Chain A
Amino acid sequence: EADIYQTPRYLVIGTGKKITLECSQTMGHDKMYWYQQDPGMELHLIHYSYGVNSTEKGDLSSESTVSRIRTEHFPLTLESARPSHTSQYLCASSGGGTGENTQYFGPGTRLTVL
Chain B
Amino acid sequence: GQSLEQPSEVTAVEGAIVQINCTYQTSGFYGLSWYQQHDGGAPTFLSYNALDGLEETGRFSSFLSRSDSYGYLLLQELQMKDSASYFCAVIKMDSSYKLIFGSGTRLLVRP
Contact = CB atoms under 8 A, between A and B. Distances in A.
A58 B97 CA distance: 11
Q: How extensive is the interface on chain A, given as a class? A: 20 to 34
Nearest to A101: B48
Given A41-B104, A101-B91, A106 B98 contact: no
A102 B45 contact: yes
A74 interface: no
Contact of A103 (B96, B99, B100): B99
Interface stretch (A14-22, A42-50, A65-73): A42-50
B43 A43 contact: yes
Between A31, A44, A45, A105, the greatest number of chain B beta carbons within 10 A of the residue's beta carbon is seen for: A105
A92 B66 CA distance: 27
Interface residues of B, number: 23
Interface string B43-75: 111001010000000000000000000000000
B85 to A, nearest CB: 8
A92 B97 CA distance: 14
B45 A104 contact: yes
A43 B50 contact: no
Contact of B31 (A40, A101, A108): A101
Interface of B: 31, 33, 35, 41-45, 48, 50, 85, 87, 91, 96-104, 106
Which 8 residue pairs are nearest across A and B when measured between Cβ atoms? Answer: A105-B42, A43-B101, A42-B103, A101-B48, A42-B101, A102-B45, A105-B43, A107-B42
